Structure 1
Amino acid sequence: MLTMMSTPNHTGVKISGDYFDLDDLNQAFYKVIGKEGQFHGYEGSRMRLLGLSYEIRHAAQGDRNVEFVFNGLHEHMMKEKGFIAPDKNIYFSVEILWPELIYAAIAMKDFVSLYQKNSSKSVWDIHLPVIYRFQSLVLDCLQGHIPDNQYEIILQAFDQPVTVNNYAIQYVDLLNLKYIAMTKEEREQSLSTIAMKLAVQDKDYQAFRQQVLAAATPGKKQIHEIEVSAKYPEDFDW
């Protein structure tokens, strides 16, 4: 079963599951976000989701964390059924930064809508329930780490029809880097604020986006093609 839990220092979220859980999620990502250039204005967000999918795929391959999780098989059950088997399953996991994961959950709303328009059998689609569960798990994990009144406001914001069409994805990098630089206590206090900034695209985001657009205009680049100068630290505490 796919699960999510905040990391010890609240830097991010650990996504865990067995091989099939993570592979299903990875396949759903690939299917729903479409092919390169398929959705005009969404290439930056698609690249962002591909980055998350990359981490999930490598986790499923055992390239990130490997854990042993109790599978419910008790000694009494083995005696009763007359067999011996492991009482733990192998689970794989990977840590994702909180701002990155929240943005992914938001961006998937647009991609789900685009996917449904291009899928004549979307009601019976096997990939959409996987995406819905992914988004629900992100929100459920978020709920466990912010006050209830703030969560209700964020939930309402998530339900608003805000689009990530031509989104300045560099803003996610900005929030990621700010979040990494915080202390554990600062992260706990600012998590709801960051979630709101990603959900509603406030004036800070709009001002940032205008700066990116100004940088993109001279070379006639797409908004997602402008690189951020700041670099991620090679190592930090999750």
Structure 2
Amino acid sequence: MLTMKSTPNHTGVKISGDYFDLDELNQAIYRVIGQEDQYYGYEGSRMRILGISYEIRHAAQGDRNVDFVFNGLHDHTMKQHGFIAPDKNIYFSTEILWPELIYAVIALKDFVKFYQEEKQFPLWDIHLPVISRFQSLVLDCLQGHVPQEEFAMILKSFNQPVTVNDYAIQYVDFLNLKYIGMTKQQREQSLSAIAMKIAVQDQDYTAFRNQVLAAAAPHKKSIHEITVQAEYPEDFEW
């Protein structure tokens, strides 16, 4: 079963599951976000979601964290059925920064909409429920770390018809780096504000986007092709 929990220092979210859980999620993501350049104005968002998919794929391959999780098998069950088996399953996991994951939840709304429009019977599609559960798990994890009244505002904002078409994805890097640089207490206090910034696209985002557009215009580049100058630290506490 796919699970999510905030990391010890609230820097991100630990996504855990067995091989099949993670592979199922990965396959659903690949299907829903479509092919390269399939959706004009969404290539940057697609790249960011693929970054998360990359981590999930490597987790499933055992390249990240390996955990042992109780599987519900008790001694009396083994005696009753006459066999001996491990009482723990192997789970794989990886950590994703909070701003990165929150943005993915928002961006996937647009991709899900496009995917549904291309399906004759989307209600019976096998991949859409997997994406929906992934989004719900992120929000459920977020709910456990922000005040209830603030979470209600976040949930309301997430339900607004805001598009990430031509989104300045560099803003996610800006929020990621800012969040990494905070103390644990500062992260706890600012998590809801960051979630709102991603969901609402406020004046700060608009000003940031205009700067990126100004940098892109002379070179006739797409907005997602402009790289940020700051670099991620090699090591930080999750």
Does the TM-score normalized on the shorter chain lie above 0.5? yes
Tell me the distance in 2 between the aligned counterparts of 1:52 and 1:96.
7
The aligned counterpart of 1:86 is 86
1:183-219 Cα shifts (integer Å, max 9, x gaps):
0000000000000000000000000000000000000
1:114 is aligned to 2:114? yes
Unaligned runs of 5+ in 2: none
1:61-210 → structure 2 map (5 Å cutoff): 61-210=61-210
1:214-233 → structure 2 map (5 Å cutoff): 214-233=214-233
Shift in Å, 1:79: 0.6
The aligned counterpart of 2:53 is 53
1:85 aligned counterpart, secondary structure: coil
Tell me the distance in 1 between the aligned counterparts of 2:121 and 2:101.
28
Q: How many correspondences in the alignment?
A: 238
Tell me the distance in 1 between the aligned counterparts of 2:47 and 2:7.
25
What is the identity percentage for the equivalent residue pairs of Structure 1 and Structure 2?
77
Shift in Å, 1:122: 1.2
Shift in Å, 1:121: 2.6
2:218 aligned counterpart, secondary structure: coil
**Divergent runs of 4+, >6 A:** none
Tell me the distance in 2 between the aligned counterparts of 1:4 and 1:177.
22
1:149-201 Cα shifts (integer Å, max 9, x gaps):
00000000000000000000000000000000000000000000000000000
1:121-157 Cα shifts (integer Å, max 9, x gaps):
3111000000000000000000000000000000000
The aligned counterpart of 2:8 is 8
Q: CA RMSD in A?
A: 0.4
Relative to the length of structure 2, the TM-score reads 1.00
Tell me the distance in 2 between the aligned counterparts of 1:138 and 1:228.
26
1:57-115 Cα shifts (integer Å, max 9, x gaps):
00000000000000000001111111111000000000000000000001000000011
Shift in Å, 1:118: 1.2
